[in-house]
Amino acid sequence: MTGNAEIERWLREAKQKGIFDSIEKVDEISNILGIERFLYPASVQRTNKETYALIKVNGDDMLGVFCRGMKPAGFHGHEKSFNGLKILICPLVHENAVILRSVLPFTAPCTLSKRDTTFGVGDRLGIATPGHIQIFKRYKASPVFAQQSVREITLTQRSFEDVLDSATWACFREGFNKPWGADGDHLKTEDQVKKVLSIGYTMVTADVSDYIRGEYTSKDNSDVIASYKNLSSGYRKVIEKRYLSSQVNLDSGQTITFSEEELGRAALIYGEALEHARRLYEAGNEVRGERDFDFELSIDETSTPTTPLAHVFIAKELERIGIKVISIAPRFVGEFQKGIDYIGDLKEFEESFRVHAAIAGKFGYKISIHSGSDKFLVFPVIGRITGGRFHIKTAGTNWLEALKIISRKDPSLFKFLYKYAQQKFGDAQKYYHITPDQSALPSVSAVDDSKLPDLFSNSDVRQVLHVTYGEMLKDTGIKKKIFMVLGKYKEDYWQALGEHIGKHLDLLNVPLAAS
């Protein structure tokens, strides 16, 4: 359906919802408003006084606010009127997103503390959310649409505002009225925490890795005891009383007890990190006040796996110092590298994951799995052991799906990007822990155009393309070409995302939502 027929359909739907009660002629209003594609039907929302819809004006998506009488305060845009109907046509800019979130609360993120199954889908390009929405309409899982780390924000030259606004506009456009979250991911400073919460994020992932003293992992007992004795006697007294005389029994069958040396080691490795977590948590409370926010603690970006004893120590310390976490992301055994499947022994993973999940269950928070893109081997284990109570974060895979679309639709641009990624990999690698074999990368010039999408089943290719997004996007010429192709084929991109993230959810055994 194109042209007038399509406009007429939209108008009919709009009229059914009571927007244009006195307007009959499509041509007339289109001429007056200069609106070519009239409105996105799913976006139409009516409040007491106004009607809101996403409309297309001269090729650009705009927010249309339709009202009779007083126009709502705050929106930036220009006004047109027709038969007493005022229409405010507003660009999709930050100021307008802020007001829309307060007028239509479903376009704002909320805390997901009551939701068992939560799933983060980082959208580095800011165009993936309509695709993600189609998935989360289908599955019984709550999405975190806005989720970017400080590292991603820096590398993509975006802002936390822009990331949140992209999700808001997409929820508005699709009329997505289920709860969704916004996660300031891997935040390290109090200022970062305050910043994201003050602009409306509802989740903070505190990254305390800079304060984890990993060097104590491998020190001799005598060194550990000597260093431990240097900690303040008040602190030692408190933790010795709390840990040395008691044990923690887990549902998974294990009992965790602490020797003096083990306690000392845990305190030395994690004591400062916990102190920093408390500072970040308090910074959050200062901004959010009485309103809740979801606080996740991430200790995943360390070189050694988190032991059950360390996990129990952290859980009990958080309780002692009054930090309520929604989830903790431990560092699991094996490798969770970006954008590729799990590397390691599955049996070993299952045994260790069972203990971590039991600790999380005992202390009343969820286990969080970072770098969750494409970890198909371990998803069934995670789904089964947690019974669906988990948080998973993905990001890179959404970017790789975008590149895969480019490989299908614009082979020559893809070949260029591939070679560019190979050149720039050295610069990009310092931000990520990954180990692709660069010498094993296929030469893209030799690949037939129709076979380019197959390259995405090669782990080395995936990793190189995964981490070089910052290099590609910081070149404005390249960025423009990427967005042009994806803009033209966005429906294909969204469909691919639906299938790919859907595969994640299926393997995690997430049930379909009742329709």
Footprint of Zn ion (CB under 5 A): 298, 300, 370
Min dist CB 489 to Zn ion, Å, is 30
Q: Is the dihedral of CA 96, 99, 104, 107 positive or negative?
A: positive
Across the strands, what pairs with 88? 65, 79
Min dist CB 454 to Zn ion, Å, is 29
The amino acid present at 480, given as its one-letter code, is K
Q: Which of 50, 123, 165, 296 is catalytic?
A: 296
Q: What is the largest CA-CA distance in the chain?
A: 87
Min dist CB 381 to Zn ion, Å, is 19
Residues 6+ apart with CB under 8 A from 288: 197
Give whichever of 121 and 486 is closer to Zn ion, judged by the CB atom: 121
Give whichever of 248 and 428 is closer to Zn ion, judged by the CB atom: 428
Give whichever of 298 and 307 is closer to Zn ion, judged by the CB atom: 298
Min dist CB 372 to Zn ion, Å, is 9
Residue closest to Zn ion when measured from CB atoms: 370
Q: Is the dihedral of CA 119, 124, 130, 131 positive or negative?
A: negative
Long-range Cβ contacts of 315-320 (<8 Å, 24+ apart): 315/359, 315/360, 315/362, 315/363, 315/365, 316/242, 316/243, 316/248, 316/363, 317/239, 317/270, 317/274, 318/274, 318/277, 318/363, 319/363, 320/238, 320/242
DSSP state of 512: B
- SS3 state at 442: coil
Give whichever of 298 and 463 is closer to Zn ion, judged by the CB atom: 298
Q: Is 300 a catalytic residue?
A: no
Min dist CB 493 to Zn ion, Å, is 25
* Reduced DSSP (H G I as helix, E B as strand, rest coil) percent helix, strand, coil of the chain, to 5: 50, 15, 30
Give whichever of 370 and 391 is closer to Zn ion, judged by the CB atom: 370
Nearest to 369 by CA among 128, 118, 169: 118
Nearest to 508 by CA among 372, 374, 383, 386: 383
DSSP state of 179: -
Q: Which of 162, 185, 410, 460 is catalytic?
A: 185
Give whichever of 320 and 433 is closer to Zn ion, judged by the CB atom: 433
Q: Which helix (H) or strand (E) holds 248?
A: strand 247-249
Q: Is 185 a catalytic residue?
A: yes
Min dist CB 391 to Zn ion, Å, is 11
Q: What is the set of active-site residues?
A: 185, 296
